[in-house]
Amino acid sequence: MSTRQTYPLHIGPTHPAFKEPVQFNFEIEGERVITCDIEFGYTHRAVEHIARERNFIQILYLLERICGICSVSHPMAYCLAVEQAAEIEVPPRAKYIRTIIGELERLHSHLLWTGVAAHEIGFDTLFLYTWNIREKVLDCLETITGNRINYGILTIGGVRRDITPDLYPVLQETLDYYYDVFERAREIILDNMSIQLRCKNVGILSHENALAYCAVGPTARASGVPRDVRVDYPVNAYPDIEWLKPVSPLDAGREPRGDVYDRMIVRVHEIHQSIDIINFCMENMPEGAVDVEPKATKMISTLKKVQGEGIGRYEAPRGEVSHYDILDNREGPLLMKVKAPTYSNGITWMKMFDNVEIADIPIVIASIDPCVACADRMSFVDSGGRRSIMTSADLHRLSVEKQRRIGK
Amino acid sequence: MALHHDEIVNRLKNEFGDEILGINVIERTEGVLRKRDQRSIAVSLTRKVFHRAVSYLKTMGTLHIACPMASREFDDYLELIYPFTLFSGEGNFSEIPVIVKVLLPEDDLSIRTVTDIIPGILFMERETMEMLGVVIEDIPDPRRLFTPGNLPDDFKPLRENPKEPEDDSQEIKY
């Protein structure tokens, strides 16, 4: 008779360690996970069903809201699918602007993830550090597009706003800032003993399992699968970048093992890669128009004449986003099918949890980078209607003043 | 080593002959400074050879499922669309989407699972079952993925005209 005793541990659907509702059902022996089962559906919003009632342009803004952090990735995949079905050729300048916005998004997404991962292992100093340096890229996105997230810049056949020459210094200043801080940030994140002790040999996804379970993005690359849509099936400006290759733990001199630390290496090195890609796009930015048809109603009536199917694939910060669209003489697609990276990577959790300790559950869950909400900024309106924005220096001053008041 | 798209088409035609109902290659040029052609293959085949065809595709190179199964409804049929890709991760423009389409008669909406060939397709097959009402035969885990447990079994949310539940005494809670 076996003496082995296990007990169930249910975490979720809402839990302080999660940024999104999802239910994990573990079978535990002592402190170790034996099996893991996952239940989804707690935030299912029927986006594919809602899209049937909307026209081609309205869908863009619906898709931006699938995920706040990947808010350019879903509209990008959708535009690529519709453009393929309708045989629309995007102007060269729009392709470069799309690439710049996409890489700025990757930059802030990876910085955000690094902070979340640090928070999950109790390293809140690093969490605050990475979120602080992330502000610069959000400011840059706000200057270029008008919003920190949900940029509203993509449209079918191009982009809605140009990056005009007077915005180049803003972009250049952002790139210079990240070139300056990168080495210090890399050292703090990857060379730290606490991080290495908590992340090495934890939550391993083997190369074989990454392939079999169709892992995507940094999760796949950390397991030694060099899968990156930007290289395998590139669009926008990516075909022009000859030196572009999927980031691997080998870039940091480490043989890929597929643990949490490898996923961290991949994301940190991709921050530098994104800065290089934006730099390339700025140096080689083509002249010309940024869209094929600025009027939405004309674009809708053009697409209404189309019968066809298209698949749009884009490498979002978390991995491959895919959209499959069927056009059939309607004002919107007959059918739209969406795949987010977490859909692919979620199934790999079940393999990663093999023999993981209970204390490591939060960091293993966070390691595939499931979505998180974006931080708000504080702003005040005084009685005269004047609006003022609190800077970090203002907040620091107020904090010091409050501490002095409390201390009296 | 990635195969040329014509080679993939020829191999499929030779292997499955009349069981292939249609096959075409879609071409598109990408890039600004460095123009490169991209291809995807759309193949329509019978349900009888579907499982063997997916298995055969896997012998050609890395097989990946890019997107959950799409569908299109006709009078007596439902077309199930599997967006696979070949040579994912081999770099340098080598990946080729292979869109496999299968027609299922409305009075027998069933197809064999391919989780034995691609384990990563499990969630997508579970979603296809609950959203479209297609029975995936031999699926290792037939549970629902997204919809709540108290949704009536005969209500399939992503059908174009979903039938109202026969048992309307059952309240749908959200």
**Residues B80, B111 contacting (CB under 8 angstroms):** yes
In the predicted model, is pLDDT for residue A44 greater than 90? no
In the predicted model, is pLDDT for residue B165 greater than 70? no
DSSP string covering A53-90: TS-HHHHHHHHHTT-STTTTHHHHHHHHHHHHHHTPPP
**Which residues in chain B have Cβ-Cβ distances shorter than 8 Å to A311?**
40, 66-67, 83, 97, 99
**Residues B67, A322 contacting (CB under 8 angstroms):** yes
A102-153 pLDDT per residue, tens: 999 999 999 999 999 999 999 999 999 999 999 999 999 999 999 998 999 9
**Which residues in chain B have Cβ-Cβ distances shorter than 8 Å to A234?**
30-31, 36, 93
Q: Does A227 touch chain B (CB under 8 A)?
A: yes
Mean pLDDT of B149-167: 75
CB contacts < 8 A, A to B, total 125
Q: Does B36 touch chain A (CB under 8 A)?
A: yes
- Indicate the length of chain B as a whole number: 174
B123: nearest CB among A229, A286, A346: A346
What's the angle, vertex CA A67, arms to CA A62 and CA A69, rounded to 5? 125
**Which residues in chain A have Cβ-Cβ distances shorter than 8 Å to B145?**
40-41
| A315-324, B131-140, B143-152, B165-174: segment of lowest average pLDDT | B165-174
In the predicted model, is pLDDT for residue A388 greater than 80? no
Domain boundaries, chain B: 5-106
**Which residues in chain B have Cβ-Cβ distances shorter than 8 Å to A231?**
91-92
Residue to test with chain A: of B32, B57, B161, B173, most A Cβ within 10 A: B32
**Residues B157, B71 contacting (CB under 8 angstroms):** no
**Which residues in chain B have Cβ-Cβ distances shorter than 8 Å to A214?**
64-65, 118, 120-121
Chain mean pLDDT for chain B: 90
Q: Does B64 touch chain A (CB under 8 A)?
A: yes
The reported pLDDT for the residue numbered A70 is: 85
A329-346 pLDDT per residue, tens: 999 999 999 999 988 998
Say whether A240 and B93 touch across the interface (CB within 8 A): no
Rounded distance, CA B15 to CA B11, Å? 6
Instruction: Pick the more confident residue, B77 or B168.
Output: B77
**Which residues in chain A have Cβ-Cβ distances shorter than 8 Å to B31?**
234, 239-240
The reported pLDDT for the residue numbered A80 is: 96
What is the distance in angstroms between the Cα of A339 and the nearest Cα belonging to chain B? 5
Instruction: Pick the more confident residue, A370 or B173.
Output: A370
At A26, list the tokens. 């573990």
Q: Does A311 touch chain B (CB under 8 A)?
A: yes
The reported pLDDT for the residue numbered A132 is: 95
In the predicted model, is pLDDT for residue B104 greater than 50? yes
Chain A stretch 56-115, residues whose beta carbon is closer than 8 A to a beta carbon of chain B: 84, 92, 95-96
Among residues A316, A247, A378, A258, which one has the least CA distance to residue A109? A316
The reported pLDDT for the residue numbered A1 is: 55
Q: What's the sign of the alpha-carbon dihedral A296, B38, B103, A47?
A: negative
Q: Does A49 touch chain B (CB under 8 A)?
A: yes
Q: Does B118 touch chain A (CB under 8 A)?
A: yes
The residue of chain B with its CA nearest to that of A214 is B120
Q: State the pLDDT confidence band at B166, using cuts at 50, 70 and 90.
A: low
Chain A stretch 15-44, residues whose beta carbon is closer than 8 A to a beta carbon of chain B: 40-41, 44
**Residues A379, A390 contacting (CB under 8 angstroms):** yes
**Which residues in chain B have Cβ-Cβ distances shorter than 8 Å to A332?**
none
Mean pLDDT of A142-170: 94
A55-91 pLDDT per residue, tens: 999 999 999 988 888 889 999 999 999 999 999 999 9
The reported pLDDT for the residue numbered A383 is: 46
**Which residues in chain A have Cβ-Cβ distances shorter than 8 Å to B78?**
none
Q: Does the domain spanning B5-106 belong to CATH 3.30.460.80? A: yes
The reported pLDDT for the residue numbered B168 is: 54
Q: Does A326 touch chain B (CB under 8 A)?
A: yes
Say whether B66 and A220 touch across the interface (CB within 8 A): no
In the predicted model, is pLDDT for residue A7 greater than 80? yes
In the predicted model, is pLDDT for residue A251 greater than 60? yes
Residue to test with chain B: of A280, A311, A330, most B Cβ within 10 A: A311
Say whether A311 and B67 touch across the interface (CB within 8 A): yes
The reported pLDDT for the residue numbered A2 is: 61
- Sketch out chain A's domains with CATH numbers: 7-42+375-407 (no CATH), 54-371 (1.10.645.10)
Segment (H or E) for A95: helix A92-120
Rounded distance, CA A106 to CA A99, Å? 10
Chain B stretch 88-117, residues whose beta carbon is closer than 8 A to a beta carbon of chain A: 88-95, 97, 99
Residue to test with chain A: of B81, B85, B150, most A Cβ within 10 A: B85
Answer yes or no: is the ipTM higher than 0.95.
no
**Which residues in chain B have Cβ-Cβ distances shorter than 8 Å to A225?**
89
Instruction: Pick the more confident residue, B148 or B172.
Output: B148
Rounded distance, CA B63 to CA A321, Å? 17
What is the distance in angstroms between the Cα of A238 and the nearest Cα belonging to chain B? 7
Say whether A44 and B146 touch across the interface (CB within 8 A): yes
Say whether B72 and A313 touch across the interface (CB within 8 A): no
The residues, ordered by sequence, that sit 6+ positions from A214 with a Cβ below 8 Å of its Cβ are A344, A347, B64, B65, B118, B120, B121
